[in-house]
Amino acid sequence: MPRLIDRTGTVQPNPWELLPRDATVETALAAASEHIIVNALLWGEHKAALKQGGKQVAVWLDSDQTVDLIAADLAELPLVALNFPGFMDGRAYSTSVLLRRHCGYSGEIRAIGDVLRDQLFYMKRCGFTMFDLKDSVKLEDAQRAFSDYSGTYASTVEEPQPLFRRVQRAGA
Amino acid sequence: MYRYDDHDRQMQRERVAQFRDQTRRFLAGELEPAQFLPLRLQNGLYIQRLAPMFRIAVPYGCLSSKQLRKLAWITRHFDKGYAHFSTRQNVQLNWPKLPEVPDILEHLLEVEMHANQTSGNCIRNTTTDQFAGVSPYEIEDSRPWCEIIRQWSTFHPEFAHLPRKFKIAVCGTEHDQAAVQVHDIGLYIVKSAAGEIGFQVLVGGGLGRTPVIGSVIREFLPWQHLLSYLEAIVRIYNQEGRRDNKFKARIKILVKELGIDVFRDKVEAEWLHCKDGPATLTLAEFQRCKSFFPEPAYEVLTDVNAEVENLLTQDVLFSQWHERNVRAHKKPGYRIVTLCLKATGSAPGDLSAEQMEFVADLAERYGFGELRVTHEQNLVLTDVRVSDLPALHKALKNEHLATPYTGLLNDMISCPGGDYCSLANAKSIPVAESIQRRFDDFDRLKNIGEMTINISGCMNACGHHHVGNIGILGVDKKGEEFYQITLGGAANRYTALGKVLGPSFAQDEIPDVIEKIVELYLAKRLDGERFIDTVNRLGIEPFKEHVYAKAD
């Protein structure tokens, strides 16, 4: 069953093969898929070789890796995947915000790892656009998650205007 | 008080529906306990020693009579008819049933209350000085700013999975009753030479296992930039705070490891990206929030009342209560009255449903139907007419709420401790009670004068023991409950952390130990010198010698 959904909850095809952190250029280029997601460190060290391998290359950041590893290369990355090693590790929320707001990245930001139903709304608000659901998550449940809230108070990536700028609110 | 508009109500309705569904999925086995854990925590629900504990937010300690009546009703229908007021100005129920919590949340919503983010690794209830808006020593009312922060931090998508909990306190009065310096972020409202409102920003304070007093990260932050600056601080913390060790995960450890200057550079660099962006506060939004805290319809009154003056000389109980629990108000003819929830024999901060209803009535009869929760676990009636003081005192006496101990030794802060809490190493409430019984005499307490005793049942320091003039910490010694004493702590503009006196004591020794400390203080104090000043002047050595001296 396909496990990848976009921010409307629609199931999307997934041509991308995610390669582990200890992958090498050789194993990456030998991957079955023509679309590979390599860790930022491998990308940083072997950018040229990876690009010459004839595959589409994207990058993933683990939660202990920061945006500056890939900031200079964002224009050539169609997709950045951010890993949640555990769903309570919230670093990727800020990483996504930094990618969107500070780096102006407009490609796909994909949530990978421990991606559960109850965090999807917040991820979407922080600029994630694609969600690789964990196996245990029920698809129909996850699809409902994006409408958990009709809005939020603070300025977010998805809705930069905070509530107080977005609507006319009455005082006492 | 702040009132919900359609947006607030809608979001809160969605929150309750969301938690109802999460609870249903958990009970149906669709959500693993570990996955449900942060969800229930961020809705106030702990699993405790005997039953769940449910923590209801009282935003910056402001409560209406209507809300307090609702709380009383909730404790009767869903709990055991009492509640505990905590050091974070919140309310805790000790016996709720997990499947009923969504219903409790729904009832709370009816009176515009919630339990959002009262626990878990997120931004918690913003706290402030309980005298905000009525203190004669106020620079600026902190409540509108607290509400602005409440809304910003509520369901903030980026900051719901921080390394650890995150507490913000705001203070707009000179004295600081909000323990601002021991918060993850502390905000002192200040005015520039030109009269412009801003904040002195402190960061990295906290109690717990590693107590730290916050460092100034910015001397003056113009008010428009409040939210973008908070955002920059919390973002740096979210990215760089330690996640490998729960005990090193608070922002204070990050600030300590980096040093305040390096941390400041990071925050300021981040802030440059957010500054002047959409999070920038508008004058309209500030004025909207401020409009919910108007000056009530005060009457023009004279400040002196003949009956009160007469009672002060004739009625000992009235004059004791007046001396300790009644303080100056910014308006002539009005007073601020503290209801000291420290009657000997009842757990500090506990109130029965009947008492809650009674207090709710009083707040309407002798005020504008509003009250405050203090971080010292007391309640405050903010706007009492001087002429009503005699009647109020009489009424309070009948309900055992006229304990005249505010600010004295028996006005102890205590966490619920081992009687309720599964984290505790030791009990707190019986220790508080044993001290209260030993010192339960007004003249003696008055002679000892101002003193704070703070008791925590474990290093998590919910009872703020580090910042008590005398701190008592429950420790586990080979399976037995022992108590470590610290001296010299304070939680105000002159915040200080207490120093450990020496080896810990058994529970039954504590009243004697306190007695010895008091004995030495009374022998050594200079004229008019408070306990904390004597400790600061002499250091802890003489106290140590006296307490640990072998009996002849």
Token couple for A61: 């950041």
Question: Is B267:B233 a contact under the CB 8 Å cutoff?
Answer: yes
Question: Is B407:B324 a contact under the CB 8 Å cutoff?
Answer: yes
Return the amino acid letter for B448.
I
pLDDT of residue B149: 98
Mean pLDDT of B356-382: 96
Give the confidence band of B12 by pLDDT, cuts at 50, 70, 90: very high
Chain A contact residues (CB < 8 Å to B): 66, 87-91, 93-95, 97-98, 101-102, 116, 118-119, 121-123, 125-126, 138, 141, 148-156, 160-165, 167, 169-172
Give the confidence band of A76 by pLDDT, cuts at 50, 70, 90: very high
> Measured between alpha carbons, how far is B487 from B466 in angstroms, rounded to an integer?
8
To the nearest whole Å, the CA of B267 is away from the closest chain A CA by: 14
To the nearest whole Å, the CA of A12 is away from the closest chain B CA by: 24
Question: Are residues A151 and B11, on separate chains, in Cβ contact within 8 Å?
Answer: yes
Size (chain B), residues: 552
Question: What is the ipTM, given to two decimal places?
Answer: 0.97
Give the confidence band of A1 by pLDDT, cuts at 50, 70, 90: low
Mean of all residue pLDDT scores within chain B:
95
3-class DSSP assignment, residue B483: strand
pLDDT of residue B50: 66
Which of A88, A150, A171 is opposite residue B291, by nearest beta carbon?
A: A171
**Which residue of chain B comes nearest to A170, CA vs CA?**
B288
Which of B18, B239, B278 is opposite residue A162, by nearest beta carbon?
A: B278
**Which residue of chain B comes nearest to A84, CA vs CA?**
B161
CA angle, B386 as apex, B381 and B387 as ends, to 5°? 120
How many Cβ contacts (< 8 angstroms) between chains A and B?
Answer: 125
B40-94 pLDDT, tens digit each? 999 999 986 667 899 999 999 999 999 999 999 999 999 999 999 998 899 999 8
pLDDT of residue B552: 55
> Measured between alpha carbons, how far is B141 from B133 in angstroms, rounded to an integer?
5
Contacts of B121 in chain A (CB under 8 A): 88, 90
pLDDT of residue B551: 60
Which of A90, A125, A163 is opposite residue B161, by nearest beta carbon?
A: A90
Question: Is B48:B36 a contact under the CB 8 Å cutoff?
Answer: no
Q: What is the CA B311 to chain-centroid distance, rounded?
A: 33
Count CB neighbours of A32 within 10 A. 6
pLDDT above 90 for B136? yes
pLDDT above 80 for B13? yes
Contacts of B292 in chain A (CB under 8 A): 171-172
- Best of A67, A69, A88 to substitute, by most chain B Cβ atoms within 10 angstroms, is A88
Question: Are residues A93 and B294, on separate chains, in Cβ contact within 8 Å?
Answer: no
B541 Cβ neighbours under 8 A, 6+ residues apart: none
pLDDT of residue B52: 86
Phi-psi region of B70 (alpha: psi -120 to 50; beta: other; left: phi over 0): alpha
pLDDT of residue A2: 63
Cα dihedral angle (A94, A96, A98, A103), rounded to 10 degrees?
A: 170
Q: What burial class does residue B295 get, using C-beta atoms within 10 Å of its C-beta: 0-12 exposed, 13-18 middle, 19+ buried? A: exposed
A107-140 pLDDT, tens digit each? 999 999 999 999 999 999 999 999 999 999 999 9
Phi-psi region of B407 (alpha: psi -120 to 50; beta: other; left: phi over 0): left
- Best of A118, A123, A134, A144 to substitute, by most chain B Cβ atoms within 10 angstroms, is A118
The closest alpha carbon to B153, from B179, B112, B184, belongs to B184
Mean pLDDT of B340-349: 88
Contacts of A93 in chain B (CB under 8 A): 157-161, 238
B417-429 pLDDT, tens digit each? 988 888 888 999 9
Task: Tell me the CA distances in angstroms from B62 to B66, B88, B89, B133, B154, one per residue in order.
Answer: 12, 12, 9, 11, 17
Mean pLDDT of B472-492: 94
B158-213 pLDDT, tens digit each? 999 999 999 999 999 888 889 999 999 999 999 999 999 999 999 999 999 899 99
> Measured between alpha carbons, how far is B125 from B120 in angstroms, rounded to an integer?
11
Return the amino acid letter for B477.
K
Question: Are residues A155 and B39, on separate chains, in Cβ contact within 8 Å?
Answer: no
Question: Are residues A154 and B282, on separate chains, in Cβ contact within 8 Å?
Answer: no
Instruction: Output phi, psi for B63, to 5 deg.
Output: -140, 140
> Measured between alpha carbons, how far is B24 from B35 in angstroms, rounded to an integer?
13
Return the amino acid letter for B38.
P
| Intra-chain end-to-end CA distance of chain B, in Å | 61
CA angle, B129 as apex, B125 and B134 as ends, to 5°? 130
Question: Are residues B158 and A97, on separate chains, in Cβ contact within 8 Å?
Answer: yes
Question: Are residues B277 and A160, on separate chains, in Cβ contact within 8 Å?
Answer: yes
The closest alpha carbon to B375, from B354, B348, B397, belongs to B348
Contacts of B164 in chain A (CB under 8 A): none
Burial letters for B48-57: b for 16+ Cβ neighbours within 10 Å, e otherwise?
A: beebbbbbbb
A127 Cβ neighbours under 8 A, 6+ residues apart: A96, A97, A99, A100, A101, A109, A157, A158
B434-450 pLDDT, tens digit each? 999 999 999 999 999 99
Mean pLDDT of B515-530: 97
Task: Tell me the CA distances in angstroms from B298 to B63, B83, B133, B331, one per residue in order.
Answer: 19, 32, 13, 8
pLDDT of residue A64: 97
> Measured between alpha carbons, how far is B186 from B375 in angstroms, rounded to an integer?
15
Contacts of A91 in chain B (CB under 8 A): 238-239, 243
pLDDT above 80 for B342? yes
Q: Judging by DSSP bridges, how do beta strands A35-39 and A16-18 pair with one another?
A: parallel
Token couple for A64: 């202990």
